[in-house]
Amino acid sequence: MYNFPATYLDQIGAMVLKLVSIKEITLKKSTMAIAVAAALLSITAAQASEFNGAYLSGKIGYNTSSPATNHTVDQLYPGLEAGYGWDIGNVLLGVDGFADWHTNSITGDDYGVDVKLGFPMDKFMPYAKLGETTGGPGIHMIGPGTRLNGALGIEYKLDYLWSAVGELFTDSIKIHGLREKNTNISVGLRRSLP
């Protein structure tokens, strides 16, 4: 057996200790990084609302047009909506597309797109929407053009997949020098798409 001088053994021992401590530090850092990542993921999961993700909605609404004319009729109408929402901190940002069939209104059948800002609070989420509507022809037998719309609503989660929704929606346009406006109140069921 070969005998190493003590200085060589001390140097080898010191190198082994350095390697072990570097591995321990690396292992400790890796373990810490994994623990921090797991904690952040659990916080994110805890903050995710039940309103996050894709959805489809069916609704029944009541449309009024102003000014009223001998051609407009306040009426019940069906509608559809599809969209997607993203949780961002304590708010939900979303986009949706819609179609409303109120043929005897000032503007006729409408369809459009909206951006949505919601405030999830457990099972409830009040929200506001702003977007563009187009459609027609309305009572003037011409397309009413693109116009701004706005809405306020509330959504209530019935269970994991289903929600009840109520919304007040309005849009207006100037035709022949006259401001013409639709106001819709609707209720519907929304199905989340997991």
pLDDT in tens, 117-159: 999 999 999 999 999 988 765 555 445 578 889 999 999 999 9
**Of 78, 175, 156, 146, nearest in space to 118 by CA:** 156
DSSP character at residue 17? H
Give bridge partners of residue 185 from the DSSP assignment: 62, 168
What are the tens digits of pLDDT across the range 12-68?
656 555 655 554 554 455 555 565 555 544 444 445 688 999 999 999 999 887 776
The answer to whether the beta carbons of residues 81 and 100 sit under 8 Å apart is: no
Strand bridging mode 178-193 / 75-88: unpaired
Round to whole Å and give the CA distance between 62 and 183. 8
The CATH number for 53-193, chosen from 2.40.160.20, 3.30.2350.10, 2.40.30.10, 3.40.718.10, is 2.40.160.20
CB 114 within 8 A of CB 152: no
User: How is residue 33 written in tokens?
Assistant: 């990084």
Q: How far apart are CA 27 and CA 31, in angstroms?
A: 6
**Where along the chain do its domains lie?**
1-47, 53-193
pLDDT per position as a tens digit, 78-120: 999 999 999 998 999 999 999 988 877 777 778 899 999 999 9
* Contact yes or no for 85/51 (Cβ under 8 A): yes
* CA geometry: angle 92, 96, 100, nearest 5 deg: 135
Q: Are the CB atoms for 116 and 91 separated by under 8 Å?
A: no
3 state SS of 109:
coil
Q: 180-189, pLDDT tens digit by residue?
A: 788 899 999 9
